[in-house]
Amino acid sequence: MASYVEQLMLKREDAVMKAAVSFVYADYNAGSPLDRNVFHLDECSYFESLEFHRRKSNFLLGRLSAKQAASVLLSEPDLRNVSVKAGVFGQPVLRVTGVPSYQVSITHCDSIGAAVVFPEVHPMGIDIERIDPKRNKTIESQLTTGEKERISAARGVEEYSVLLTVFWTVKEALSKILRTGFTTSLHVLEMNETLFVNEYFRSTFSHFPQYAAQSYRLGDYICTIAAPRRTEWSMNTSQLYYNFNSVFHPICLQVETFTEDIF
């Protein structure tokens, strides 16, 4: 297993707040139980009720990354005191013993899980996806005319696939903030601008001008975090990349159908 956790300084005109982002790589072995030094008994019981390997793997990745981010941000050493429940729409709801007013967004792809824990007053959303030209047609079908015109300037198959994955992760990260998931039309989540600045892509939205997103290329993956537009923050991608270099550049990956996180 590999992991990386970093606190993020959320700088606004009138305040500075803290969030934390966590990445976990774990190759779940079928039949393995959860570590009861990390997971609460209720979490272990729910995990055992899951029938399919993929659902168990996603549960492990999402919860473990959320626990690690919350542990660092909120100084809670006992991960059993950090749990993630499901809300009425299936969205993750963070519960930390004795600590109110923080929430979480989680994502997973292949054997990578990621989470961002943030103050409840400052909504954020995260998504990670693998860059895969085989998924281009699926993503294209969800773009607006304006988005297709902007992305048509891409040079070469690789750059085009990268930009398509950026567009998808940006929309999914925003949908988690709105707590709609992809149950709403992706056209409602239209992006009106995407620029490459300071080694990441920064995107804004046509219908939600109060938000912006920052997308990072991590080898074969794109990770996007969406947040209020007037917040400034940065992530130490160099250290993350160093810790996860072999994970972000996998030698071989099994072919998977294109799926998205619900939240």
pLDDT digits (tens, 9 = 90+) for 186-236: 789 999 999 998 889 999 999 999 999 999 999 999 999 999 999 999 999
Residue 92: which residues within 8 A CB-CB, separation 6 or more? 62, 66, 84, 85, 86, 103, 104, 105, 106, 263
* Cα dihedral 71→60→109→117 (10° resolution): -20
Among 97, 88, 77, 33, residue whose Cα is nearest residue 59: 33
> Is there a contact between 65 and 106 (Cβ–Cβ < 8 Å)?
yes
Average pLDDT over residues 24-49: 89
Is residue 53 pLDDT above 60, yes or no?
A: yes
Alpha-carbon distance of 219 to 246, in angstroms, equals 9
pLDDT in tens, 134-174: 999 999 998 999 999 989 888 888 999 999 999 999 999 99
Q: How many C-beta neighbours within 10 Å does residue 95 have?
A: 15
Q: Which residue has tokens 């899951």?
A: 50
Alpha-carbon distance of 117 to 126, in angstroms, equals 10
Tokens of 169: 């992760």
Task: Give just the sign of the alpha carbon dihedral 10, 122, 108, 37.
Answer: positive
Is residue 13 pLDDT above 70, yes or no?
A: yes
Whole-structure pTM value:
0.92
